[in-house]
Structure 1
Amino acid sequence: MGEIRLVGTAHVSQNSVDEVRRAIEEFEPDVVAIELDQGRYAALKKEGPKATVDDILKGGNFSEILVQWMLAYIQKKIGMDVGVEPGAEMMAAMEEAEGRNIPIALADRDIRLTLSRFWKGMSLWEKMKLIGALAGTVAGRGGDEEIDVEALTKDKDLIEAAIEEFHNFSPRGAKALIDERDAYLSHSLLRLAQHNEKVLGVVGAGHVKGITGYFNDPSKLPPFASLVEQPKTLPWKYIFGGLFIAMFAFLMILIGFSGVGIDVLIWAIVYWVLINGILAGGFTLIAGGHPLSAVTAFGVSWMTSLNPLLAAGWFAAITEAKVRKPKTSDLQKIVEAENFTEMRKVPLFRVVLVAALANVGSTIGTFAYFIFIFPILGIDPTVVLADGFNNLMAFLGSLI
C-alpha cells in the first residue's frame, strides 16, 4: 500500500492554490487525485458537451436546479470577495501535475448523483429551510459579516464547527454532501494507493477529518456500491397525490350526500379551481413570470393537483419558455450574474424559477383548500360530514 498525503483546501482560497502547488513540488507524487468528477473536470477545463435548454426543461427537477444555481452563485460571490475564482486550487493541481507529467485521477462522485441523493434524501422541512437560507443569502440578507476563507483552511476547530452546524441544520443533506463523499473519496484514494507509491489527495478541508478516520479504520468504510446507487425512497409524491385525490373525491361525495344542496357542492368544486389556480398563478407572477404563464398555471392547477404525474409548474414553464425564448447561452449568463436581480433577467433562469414557484403555489393551494373550504362555504363540517357519511352508508345499504 502506497503513501497517501492529503491537502485540505477551500475552493476560493489563494492560500489553497499556493499550498497545492507546494505540496506537489515537495511530495513528488506518482498521481494527483482531485476532488472532481468527470463533469466538473470538463467544466473547469472548458471541455466536453454542455447542457442545453432542452436538457434542463425536460429534466423537470426545477427545484434541484435552482438550489444548484444558488449554491454556485454563493461560492462564486465568496470567490469574488477574496479575489479567487471558485475551483482555482483544482486548476492549480491540474496545471502543476500536467506540467510535471504526473497523472491526474478524478476521485469524487458524479455531481449529478450527489445532488440527487442530497435533494431526495432531505425531508420537506430541510428543503424549505435550505431554500429559505439560500434565497436570503442570494438576495443579500444575512448581514455584512465577511467570511475569512483562509482561516477556514487553517483552523480545524472552525472547520469542524461549520460541519457540525451543517449536520444540525440538515442532517440528511449533510449525509449526502459530506459523509457519503468522505467515504467515496476514501475508496478512491485507497484504490490508487494499491497501485502507486505516493498519492496526493487534493480535497476540501471539510473532508479531511472524515477521510483520515476511514484511513485509520478502513473496516468502517461503507460498501462502495451503496454510495453510487440511486437513493431508494418511498414515492411520497405519488402517495400524497393519491391521498389528496381520494380525500377530494370523498369530500365531494360526502357534501353531495349531506343534503346541503347541489349549489354548495358546485361551489366546493369552484373553490377548488379558484384556490389552486389563484395561488399557482400568483406564485408564477411572484417569480416574474409572464401573465400568460400565470394564466396557464391558473388554468391547469386544479387538474394537476389531482394528478401526481403532472405539475402546474411544467405547463407554466412551457408557456414561459415560448414567451422568453431561452437560449443555451443563458447558462453562461447565469454563471456570470453579479446578483439575484441580474439572474432573474436571464430568460432561462426566469423559466426555471416560474416552474418551481408555480408548483409551490399549487401545493400550498391544495393544503389551503382542505383547511379553509368549510369556513369559506359557511357550513359546519362536523354536521355536513356526519350527515353525508350516514346518508352514504344508508344509500349503500339500500343497494345490498
Structure 2
Amino acid sequence: MSQINLNLNGKEIVLLGTAHVSQQSCDEVKAAIAAKKPDCVAIELDEQRYASLNDSEAWKNLDIIKVLREKKGFLLLANIVLSSFQKRMGANVGVKPGDEMRAGIDAAKELGIPCEMVDRPIQTTLRRAWAKNSGYGRIKLLSALFASAASKEEVSGDEIENLKNKSEMDGMMAELADFMPGVKEVLIDERDFYLAAHIWEAVQKEERKSVVAVLGAGHLPGVQAHLEKIAAGSENTDTEEISSLPKKKVGAKIIGWAIPVVIVGLIAAGFVFGGMKKGADLLSAWVIWNAVLAGIGALVAGGHPLTILMAAVGAPFTSLCPLVGVGMFAGIVQAFVCKPKVADMESMMDDVSSVKGFYKNRLLRVLLVLFLSSIGSSIGTFVGGSSIVVSIVSFFKGLFGK
C-alpha cells in the first residue's frame, strides 16, 4: 500500500493510498490504523456517501420524481454508472466499492478513535464537472461514462493493486488530463485541495497530534503538496469557492436568453413583414422540428405514449426557456405512468451495463427518456432555429431586392 508519513508543525499525518476495490487495501488499512493508533482517522467520503455506505437499502427509497424536479437526473445517471463500474471491478476480487473506507471506519471504531469525513459531496463534484465542461466536453464525459458501463473487460486483482503504484497513477492522470482537462481539474485537482484542507482541519481539533487519512492512491501526491503549503502558510483551508457551482459568466447568461429572444423576434418579423403565411411558416418550422425530434428521442427511449406526447408538445416551449428542459417533464410523466418498482432499484447497478438493461429497468428508462428527449430537443432547437434564420434572411433579400 502507498503510504506517506508527514510531520508538519508538530502534527503527524499519515496518508494511506488505497485501490478502491482491493481486499489487500482493506487489510492494510486496518493494520496501519491499529499500528499507528492516531488521534483521528480521516476518510475519503462525504457525509452522504458515508450514510449510503451504512445503508445498502438506500436506493429503495429513491424518489425519482423529486430527483427530476430538482434537475439532478443527469447527475443521478452519472452516479449510477460510476457506482456500477466500481461494483463490477470489485466483483472480480471479492470486494464491494467502499470496503477499504469501511475498513478504516471499522478499525477506528474498534479502537475508539474519532472519524472525520473529509471529501467533498459527490453531487457537488459531479455538478461542477458538468458545469465546467463545454458542450463537446459534456458529450465526451457522457461517452466515457457509458463506455465504462458497457465494457465487459475484466480487471484482475493484480491490475487493481497496480493502481496504487505511482507510475500507473501518473499515466492515468496524464491520460485523463489530456482527454478531459475540465473533468480532471474537478475530480482530482480540486478534491486534492479539498481533502488536504479538511485533513488539516481535522488534526487541529481538540489538541489532536496525529491523523491517518485513508485516500485513493491517485490523491496522495496532490494532497501531500497542499498539506505542505498549508503548513507553510502559503495556502489557507478555505474551500468555499470549490464547494458550490461555478457562477455562470455574464456572457453565457446573455447568450442563453439571447437565442430564444432572437428566434421569437424573427418569427414576429415574419408576421409583420411577410404576413400571416410567412409568419405561420416560420412558427411551424420551429414547432415541427422541436416537437418531432424531441418526440423521436422519447420514442427511442421506450417512453410511454403519454411521455412521447409530452416531449413533442413541450419541446417547442421549453426550447425558448433556458431555465427548464423538456427532458425533465418527459421524465416525470414517464415516472408517473410507469412507476419504478423496488426490484428496479435493486437491479439497476447490473442493468446499467447493457442496452437491454436500460429498457428493462423502469428507473433507468426514466433517465433514458430524460437524456434522449433532451438530445432530440437540442437538435430540434438547432435545426429549427437555423431554418428560421435561413428563411428570414432569404425573405428579406428578396424583399429588398425588389
The TM-score, its normalising length taken from structure 1, stands at: 0.87
Q: Deviations over 1:238-266 (max 9, x none)?
A: 5444222222123224444665x643432
Cα distance change on mapping 1:192 and 1:316 into 2, 3 Å: closer
Report if aligned partners of 1:288, 1:350 keep a CA contact under 8 Å in 2. yes
Q: Deviations over 1:76-130 (max 9, x none)?
A: 1211233221101011111112122222111112222222222222222211101
Structure 1 residue aligned with 2:361: 346
Matches within 5 A, 1:195-214: 195-214=207-226
Structure 2 residue aligned with 1:395: none
Secondary structure of the residue aligned to 2:116 is: strand
Match of 1:61 among 69, 72, 75: 72
Report if aligned partners of 1:31, 1:104 keep a CA contact under 8 Å in 2. yes
2:316 is the counterpart of 1:316 = no
Number of aligned residue pairs: give it. 383
- Higher deviation after alignment, 113-122 or 157-166: 113-122
The 1-side partners of 2:352 and 2:401 are apart by 63
Structure 2 residue aligned with 1:398: none
Structure 2 residue aligned with 1:397: none
Q: Deviations over 1:350-372 (max 9, x none)?
A: 11221222112101101012334
Structure 1 residue aligned with 2:395: 384
Secondary structure of the residue aligned to 1:71 is: helix
Match of 1:27 among 32, 36, 42: 36
Q: CA RMSD in A?
A: 2.7
Cα distance change on mapping 1:221 and 1:336 into 2, 3 Å: farther
Match of 1:364 among 370, 379, 383: 379
Cα distance change on mapping 1:271 and 1:346 into 2, 3 Å: same
- Higher deviation after alignment, 334-343 or 276-285: 334-343
The 1-side partners of 2:102 and 2:115 are apart by 11
2:196 is the counterpart of 1:181 = no
Structure 1 residue aligned with 2:201: 191
Matches within 5 A, 1:265-284: 265-284=279-298
Q: Deviations over 1:15-72 (max 9, x none)?
A: 2112211211222222111101111111111189754334313212222221121111
Q: Which amino acid aligns with 1:134?
A: L
Secondary structure of the residue aligned to 2:92 is: helix
Secondary structure of the residue aligned to 1:186 is: helix
The 2-side partners of 1:35 and 1:57 are apart by 28
The 1-side partners of 2:198 and 2:393 are apart by 61
Cα distance change on mapping 1:83 and 1:115 into 2, 3 Å: same
Cα distance change on mapping 1:389 and 1:252 into 2, 3 Å: farther
| Sequence identity (%) | 35
Report if aligned partners of 2:69, 2:328 keep a CA contact under 8 Å in 1. no
Secondary structure of the residue aligned to 1:263 is: helix
Match of 2:259 among 244, 249, 269: 244
The 2-side partners of 1:373 and 1:128 are apart by 26
The 1-side partners of 2:27 and 2:400 are apart by 74
The 1-side partners of 2:64 and 2:154 are apart by 37
Structure 1 residue aligned with 2:3: none
Q: Give the deviation of 1:315 after TM superposition.
A: 2.3
Secondary structure of the residue aligned to 2:248 is: coil
Cα distance change on mapping 1:286 and 1:348 into 2, 3 Å: same
- Higher deviation after alignment, 14-23 or 232-241: 232-241
Cα distance change on mapping 1:159 and 1:221 into 2, 3 Å: farther
Structure 1 segments unaligned to the other structure (5+ residues): 392-400
The 2-side partners of 1:361 and 1:266 are apart by 23
The 1-side partners of 2:302 and 2:250 are apart by 31
Q: Deviations over 1:192-244 (max 9, x none)?
A: 33332221000011110001111232214563332324422237885444222
The 1-side partners of 2:56 and 2:189 are apart by 30
Report if aligned partners of 1:11, 1:86 keep a CA contact under 8 Å in 2. yes
Structure 2 residue aligned with 1:167: 177
The 1-side partners of 2:57 and 2:241 are apart by 28
Match of 1:91 among 94, 97, 102: 102
Cα distance change on mapping 1:356 and 1:136 into 2, 3 Å: same
Match of 2:53 among 44, 50, 55: 44
Report if aligned partners of 1:255, 1:388 keep a CA contact under 8 Å in 2. no
Report if aligned partners of 1:38, 1:106 keep a CA contact under 8 Å in 2. yes
Q: Give the deviation of 1:289 after TM superposition.
A: 1.3
Secondary structure of the residue aligned to 1:105 is: strand
The 2-side partners of 1:365 and 1:54 are apart by 25
